[in-house]
Structures are given as structure tokens and as C-alpha cells.
Amino acid sequence: MEIRRDIFQAIADPTRRAIIALIATQAMTPNALAEHFHTSRQAVSKHIKILTECDLVKQEQQGREIYYSLDIQKMKEIDKWLDQFRKLWETQFNQLDEVLATLKKQKK
């Protein structure tokens, strides 16, 4: 049985967000990733496993090494989900701007 993790719970962790930032531009091995943290390689591997279970991270074997990289498609899914709220916030901010502009005009 495959475990499906909640992607938002996965990215809530600051270490996992840092891993995402590190592999966003280039694939890295677990050892290379672990060098960026004050924790064990096993702890970093556990974070990578969680990100992999969410399909945020993909792995590719190159010789003896496994390289992890970011799955851009999954990041786009997160962005698409957030976009609905972004549009709502923009509408509310625009309405607030209009109210403030009206209030400024009334003060003059």
C-alpha cells in the first residue's frame, strides 16, 4: 500500500521548503543536500522521502548516485490552487483601494 501524503503538510516544514529551494535550480544527491543542514544525512533522507511521496521531488539514478530534482508540474498544481485565493485577495485589495481613495477625496 502506497502512502499518499498531503502536499501542504509536506511544504509546511521549513527544512523541506529549504530542500525545495536547493533543488529548484539543480538536481542534488542526498549527501550534497545534507551539507546545507545541521542534521544527519538520515534526517535529510527522511525529508526527501516525504517530498517524493507527495510527487514534489523526482529521483534519477546516475551511476551509483541518486539525484533529486523538483517536479515543476507539481509546483504548478500548488500555484494553480493558490491562484484562486490570489484573485480573491486582489479583488479585495482593489476594493479597499477604492474605499481609501474615496475617503481621501471626502477629507479635502
Q: What residues does each domain of the chain span?
A: 1-70, 72-108
| Residue 66, pLDDT score | 95
69 beta partners: 58
What is the percent of the chain with per-residue pLDDT over 90, rounded to a whole number? 51
d(CA 49, CA 28): 14
Name the phi and psi angles at 4, rounded to 5.
Answer: -105, 120
Q: What mean pLDDT is predicted for residues 35-43?
A: 91
Q: What is the pTM of this model?
A: 0.74
Cell numbers describing residue 43: 534526517
pLDDT for the residue numbered 2: 52
Query: Residue 4: what pLDDT?
Result: 67
Residue 1 has pLDDT above 80, yes or no: no
- CATH topology for the 1-70 domain: Arc Repressor Mutant, subunit A (1.10.10)
Task: Count CB-CB contacts under 10 A for residue 73.
Answer: 10
Number of H-type helices and E-type strands within the chain: 5, 2
